[in-house]
Amino acid sequence: MATRREVAEAANVSVRTVSNVVNGFPTIAPETRARVLRAIEEMDYRPSKIARILKRGRSGLVALVLPELDTPYFAELTRAFVELGGERGFTVIIDQTDGDPQRELELINQSDHGTLFDGVIVSPLGLADTDADAISSERPVVFLGEETHPGFDHVRIDNFAAAREATAHLLDSGRRKVAALGAQRTLVRSSSIRLLGYRQALEDAGVAFDPDLIGYVEEFRRPDGAAAMARLLDGPTVPDAVFCFSDPLALGAMRTLHERGLRIPEDVALVGFDDIEDGHFSFPTLSSISPDKSFIASRALELLSAHIDGTAVKPGEYLAPHRLVVRESSV
Amino acid sequence: MATRREVAEAANVSVRTVSNVVNGFPTIAPETRARVLRAIEEMDYRPSKIARILKRGRSGLVALVLPELDTPYFAELTRAFVELGGERGFTVIIDQTDGDPQRELELINQSDHGTLFDGVIVSPLGLADTDADAISSERPVVFLGEETHPGFDHVRIDNFAAAREATAHLLDSGRRKVAALGAQRTLVRSSSIRLLGYRQALEDAGVAFDPDLIGYVEEFRRPDGAAAMARLLDGPTVPDAVFCFSDPLALGAMRTLHERGLRIPEDVALVGFDDIEDGHFSFPTLSSISPDKSFIASRALELLSAHIDGTAVKPGEYLAPHRLVVRESSV
């Protein structure tokens, strides 16, 4: 492999000019740049990541595309991806979409980042199932979450079973007015599936479904949980337990219950979803469905590696384990 | 500008081969690749991000290098960077260092990412002042936080003034046993400076410094806050107020106070630092120092832009505004 000096001599420029071309500085005459690039290519000089990408077809960069970074669940999941990716020799970098379908599609198709990434792991929020046709990426893509995109690998948890377990746990304690907080009027699939799991648990226990016990939200955040809890308490059926579709929703609901002078769990029991660290230190501590975040990250990276190595044959769907962690808010 | 087809004809290859070279696929003969690259260069064909980087010296990518992503303060700051970066035409991607000085240096020097980024904004945790000599990046670097690295732009808040204000607020209510929770035995500068601000406020109020009222922590997280609060309560001087160096520390301390049956703020008042959303919904809600995160992001991006455009002349230091937000935990 040639040195930078040899390249400089071959192209009849200074060593500094070679560096400037390699570093993409804009102030170089096009003919000079072309001459240096030709010398770089012909002499097998690999000065930078870019040359290595062109040479080997690998950058070592993986993009993790998430709707939100200031949601604790995604922040904790990101940590798992960065750590486990590092073990596999990937540098995982993160991009945030705000759930905008256009931006999700752009990032997947990499019209923006070009071919800098070896692959993309994406947790879509806005991107509907049908949009999968618009995916034109030539790079491997692995999806996280409930939305199914035919032809791609998916890693998700069993939201139906998890919601059913959480609701059953509340019903098992004898509570009969169990609310579901986190329904959405838009078609977010994980929310709809959690609602189905909740209804199944009611049916299993022979408890009639009461639409007045459904709390609707815009987003899965604390302010939404606080407001929806207030509406439930002011509604025709006051709940004695609430299954919240995320921990931030439950922590918002908890705040409203404290404000109203209601005791948790004596007056109203709570279970959340995601098992974020916040709920381990709330008062009371929060019972929650705990998805195995390390499993999700590790399986998704494994699938991506298989695609990059060319050993992947057929896309599959994978379930990450989850468990119900019972804490003070529901016992 | 040439089309892909014209490039293919000039290099005497198929259109597909041009795509494969552009996309960095490894299965192409070196001579073919060299021929295609030469044609691309000579014909001014700009097929991908990589070609555009080589051509214009700009990728539009900015790296934000942070110690932790699952710390709510950094997660909220990241959101501000992604949004404000987008307005400036930057795609901000995020990398996590865990505060490892070696990794921080690597990311700054871009030995890892090569020259893919137009610039780097870094919030160093491990990197000491003296390590600045080891920074060899040819790309613009802007630092966030207290550590000073001569020759680089810095954006930070006035930690001394903020800590002094928070402590003075607790002293103003007549409390005299005001603890500081968040001291560190390592040389993390922001922690040391907050401790100095705390001591200045005591001096301003004529209150003697009591080393038994200093709570030490390893990290600025909930478990550390809970444990340090327990040690303070079991120590020789029981505090009637605590200034916590981060909101997660304060929320951990809050949990311990609840467990011990102590009332907030009646028995022990609390003030945190960072003003994260969690503290708006805790019980009680948390008083906190609120740094202007939008200002930090916007100023750092502005400085980086000036370097990229070549209009920056001399590195400077910039203070972002902050304010004390008083909530239930301290009134």
Question: Are residue A148 and residue A297 in the same domain, yes or no?
Answer: yes
Question: Are residue A16 and residue A121 in the same domain, yes or no?
Answer: no
Give the CATH number, domain containing residue B36: 1.10.260.40
When CB atoms are compared, the residue of A78, A93, A277 closest to B222 is A277
Lowest pLDDT segment from A66-80, A240-254, B56-70 = B56-70
Handedness of CA A158, A229, A127, A130 (dihedral sign): positive
When CB atoms are compared, the residue of B19, B72, B138 closest to A70 is B72
pLDDT band at B159 (very low <50, low <70, confident <90, very high): very high
Question: Are residue B285 and residue B176 in the same domain, yes or no?
Answer: yes
Best mutation target among A16, A94, A136, A286 (most B Cβ atoms within 10 Å) is A94
Are A196 and A209 spatial neighbours (Cβ–Cβ below 8 Å)? no
Q: What's the complex ipTM?
A: 0.75
A53 pLDDT above the threshold of 60: no
A112 pLDDT above the threshold of 50: no
Residue A173, pLDDT score: 95
Question: Are residue B272 and residue B188 in the same domain, yes or no?
Answer: yes
pLDDT band at A4 (very low <50, low <70, confident <90, very high): confident
Please give the mean pLDDT across all residues of chain B: 85
Radius of gyration (C-alpha) of chain B in whole angstroms: 25
Which residues make Cβ contacts (< 8 Å) with residue A196, sequence separation at least 6?
A160, A163
Q: Residue B249 carries which DSSP code?
A: H
Residue A40, pLDDT score: 78
Q: How far is CA A265 from CA A176, A246, A330, B106, in A?
A: 14, 18, 5, 50
Residue of chain B whose alpha carbon sits nearest to that of A37? B38
Cα pseudo-dihedral A109, B106, B300, A78, rounded to 10: 50
Question: Are residue A246 and residue A283 in the same domain, yes or no?
Answer: yes
Question: Are residue A282 and residue A304 in the same domain, yes or no?
Answer: no
Residue A35, pLDDT score: 86
Dump pLDDT digits (tens) for B195-252: 999 999 999 999 999 999 999 999 999 999 999 999 999 999 999 999 999 999 999 9
Phi and psi torsions of B101, nearest 5°:
-60, -35
pLDDT band at A129 (very low <50, low <70, confident <90, very high): low
> B188 vs B155, which has greater pLDDT?
B155
> B328 vs B5, which has greater pLDDT?
B328
Contact call for B72 and A69, based on CB within 8 A: no
SS3 category, B89: coil
Give CA–CA dist B189/A270, Å, rounded. 41
How far out from the chain centre does Cα B310 lie?
25
Contact call for B37 and A42, based on CB within 8 A: no
Question: Are residue B184 and residue B277 in the same domain, yes or no?
Answer: yes
When CB atoms are compared, the residue of A42, A50, A93 closest to B115 is A50
Give the CATH number, domain containing residue B280: 3.40.50.2300
Within 13 Å of residue B235, how many CA atoms lie on the same side as its CB? 20
Dump pLDDT digits (tens) for A139-180: 788 999 887 777 889 999 999 999 999 999 999 999 999 999
Question: Are residue A284 and residue A248 in the same domain, yes or no?
Answer: yes
A111 pLDDT above the threshold of 50: no
Residue B62, pLDDT score: 87
Chain B closest-CA separation from residue A226 CA (Å): 8
Q: The domain containing residue A142 runs over which residues?
A: 61-157+293-321
Last residue of a domain, one of B23, B38, B56: B56
Number of domains in chain B: 3
Q: How far is CA A141 from CA A144, A190, A204, in A?
A: 10, 20, 38
Give CA–CA dist B258/B35, Å, rounded. 72
Residue A82, pLDDT score: 86
How many Cβ pairs within 8 Å bridge chains A and B? 185
Residue B278, pLDDT score: 93
SS3 category, B299: helix
Last residue of a domain, one of B15, B38, B56: B56
Does B86 contact chain A (CB < 8 Å)?
A: no
> Which H or E element spans position A287?
strand A287-291
Chain A closest-CA separation from residue B109 CA (Å): 12
Q: Which two tokens stand for residue B318?
A: 């910039």
Contact call for B50 and A115, based on CB within 8 A: yes
Question: Are residue A211 and residue A181 in the same domain, yes or no?
Answer: yes
How far out from the chain centre does Cα A71 lie?
10
Give CA–CA dist B123/B132, Å, rounded. 13
Give CA–CA dist A153/A150, Å, rounded. 8
Question: In b/e form, how buried is each residue of A294-310, taking b as 16+ CB within 10 angstroms?
Answer: ebbbbbbbbbbbebbee
Question: Are residue A169 and residue A108 in the same domain, yes or no?
Answer: no
Point out which residues pair with A225 in neighbouring strands: none
Contact call for B24 and A115, based on CB within 8 A: yes
Best mutation target among A65, A79, A116 (most B Cβ atoms within 10 Å) is A116
Best mutation target among B32, B115, B222 (most A Cβ atoms within 10 Å) is B115
Please give the mean pLDDT across all residues of chain A: 85
What mean pLDDT comes out for the span B57-71? 79
Dump pLDDT digits (tens) for B21-40: 765 555 677 788 888 888 87
Question: Are residue B95 and residue B36 in the same domain, yes or no?
Answer: no
Last residue of a domain, one of B16, B37, B56: B56
Question: Are residue A179 and residue A279 in the same domain, yes or no?
Answer: yes
Q: Which of A162, A120, A168 is nearest to A300 (CA)?
A: A120
